[in-house]
Amino acid sequence: MKHILFIFLFVTLNFSDYSRNNSLLNEYKKGRLKTKLIYSIGGNTNNPDDMLIWPNSIGVDQEENLFILDSKESVIKKYNKNGKFIGRFGRKGRGPGEFLSSNKLGIAPNGNIYIYDTMSFQFCVFDNNGKFIKNIKFNDIVWKMRFSKSGIYIETQRIIRKGKIGTNNVAVMLYNYDLKKKKTIVKYKLKSWVYGKVGKSKMALHLPFKDNVYWDITNSSDLIVAYTNGYKIEVYSPEGKLKRTFFHKARKRKISEREKEKIRNNYLNEQGNSSAVRNFINSNLKFPVYAPYFKMMHIDEYDNLLLTTYNKMQNDYLIDVFNKEGNFINRIKIKADVLTENSIFKYGNIYSNYGDSNTFGEVRKYRIID
């Protein structure tokens, strides 16, 4: 009887925790990643503990607790694995444990929470329960950061203007947890802006459908850099050594006139729908014939690489999936409302944040199912 009970428990635990014990390759080979909504925080809620204004950064610790940085409220909210509110910490201000303009959250391997403040140029460090530890000065703007066993990968940018064109000079560097620089891993340049004048007013337009570069890190602290130009992928060690490079062949999608018109109208709404603005946009906003190969990058908990293409099929994103060795697995489908740019794949789940500075925000936890 004991043997039967043991076998029953073993099988039950294995199937109830499918995603943790499977590399997800079987699901990718099927061509669709299926998910189930576990909980949602924010959105249309009257509960003040769950209300979110601008949740532009999230993190998940080793206990599956979710941390949400609400940049509009300058507060971090903590929830358990079931989405139950645990507590909050941080506030707007200049004192210890306070921020002027917080926009990045990261979790160190020891559970400490790092918040980057763009106005005070510093990191604010808390323990996992929200107790303030220290501030660390950092004399640069952090555009992106990822936390690993080897340290903190940080992206910085400098915009260099030459004539009408603005180029982002980007560097991804590795720092220790006291924010001392260890190594510059990779540098690249991106043409991103077109500048000009309308009357006495200066204008800057972000170039649409431009080639881009995306990066993220693996569980072994390797840095993966994906270039839309040429569909090239590079893998770097934490020491900055280029371990391998691989390419992928794919078809580009032609940009439709409807998409172009939508972007032009968005700029007119932002800049003012005058004839002068309209002439400037029509003269300076140039569209390529084809969209880039992909527009988002994610790495799952098994170090598989997922690149979300510009192709859609009804309400699905089409995603190219590669294993950690760089071998192409499949182009899969996933519901478009599941993934966002900052989605996190962890413990068989996908955590995604929604909203911007003009709307109420929401964070959802999806379970990956077979």
Q: Which residue has the higher pLDDT, 256 or 11?
A: 256
Compute the distance between CA of residue 365 and CA of residue 370 in angstroms, rounded to an integer: 16
DSSP state of 254: B
Nearest to 310 by CA among 298, 319, 321: 319
Q: Which residue has the higher pLDDT, 270 or 173?
A: 173
End-to-end, the C-alpha distance of the chain in Å comes to 31
Q: Which long-range contacts (CB under 8 A, 24 or more apart) does 321-328 make?
A: 321/28, 322/233, 322/246, 322/248, 323/25, 324/218, 326/233, 326/235, 326/244, 326/246, 328/248
Among 35-49, 147-161, 178-192, 269-283, the range scoring the smallest mean pLDDT is: 269-283
Residue with tokens 């988002």: 296
What percentage of the chain exceeds 70 in pLDDT?
Answer: 93
What's the domain range around 182?
18-253+290-369
Number of domains comprising the chain: 1
Nearest to 151 by CA among 69, 214, 66, 240: 240
When the pLDDT of each residue in the chain is averaged and rounded to a whole number, the result is: 91
- Looking at residue 245, which CATH number applies to its domain? 2.120.10.30
Is residue 13 assigned to a domain?
no
Could you tell me the pLDDT band of residue 156, with boundaries at 50, 70 and 90?
very high
Compute the distance between CA of residue 61 and CA of residue 45 in angstroms, rounded to an integer: 25
Q: Residue range 216-224: average pLDDT?
A: 96
Query: Residues 89-112: pLDDT tens digits?
Result: 999 999 999 999 999 999 999 999
Could you tell me the pLDDT band of residue 9, with boundaries at 50, 70 and 90?
very low
Q: Which residue has the higher pLDDT, 253 or 355?
A: 253
Asked if residue 179 lies in contact with residue 152, where contact means CB atoms within 8 angstroms, the answer is: yes
Is residue 321 assigned to a domain?
yes
Q: Which pLDDT score, from 0 to 100, does residue 358 have?
A: 57
Judged against a pLDDT cut of 90, whether residue 158 lies above it is answered with yes
Q: Which pLDDT score, from 0 to 100, does residue 336 have?
A: 96
Q: Which pLDDT score, from 0 to 100, does residue 357 have?
A: 54
Q: Residue range 39-54: average pLDDT?
A: 93
Six-digit token string for 133: 């530890």
Compute the distance between CA of residue 296 and CA of residue 320 in angstroms, rounded to an integer: 11
Is residue 65 assigned to a domain?
yes
Using DSSP, state whether 344 is helix, strand or coil.
strand
Six-digit token string for 153: 């990968």
Is residue 141 assigned to a domain?
yes
Query: Residues 198-215: pLDDT tens digits?
Result: 888 888 899 999 999 999
Judged against a pLDDT cut of 70, whether residue 78 lies above it is answered with yes
Write phi, then psi, for 198 (nearest 5 degrees).
-125, 105
Is residue 153 assigned to a domain?
yes
User: Per-residue DSSP letters for 97-134?
Assistant: TEESSEEEEEE-TTS-EEEEETTTTEEEEE-TTS-EEE
Asked if residue 151 lies in contact with residue 177, where contact means CB atoms within 8 angstroms, the answer is: yes
Is residue 259 assigned to a domain?
no
Q: Which pLDDT score, from 0 to 100, does residue 302 have?
A: 95
Compute the distance between CA of residue 82 and CA of residue 279 in angstroms, rounded to an integer: 53
Could you tell me the pLDDT band of residue 33, with boundaries at 50, 70 and 90?
very high
Helix (H) or strand (E) holding 246: strand 242-247
Is residue 266 assigned to a domain?
no
Is residue 11 assigned to a domain?
no
Query: Which residues 6+ apart lie within 8 Å of 164 measured at CB?
Result: 194, 195, 196, 284
Write phi, then psi, for 278 (nearest 5 degrees).
-60, -40
What percentage of the chain exceeds 90 in pLDDT?
Answer: 79
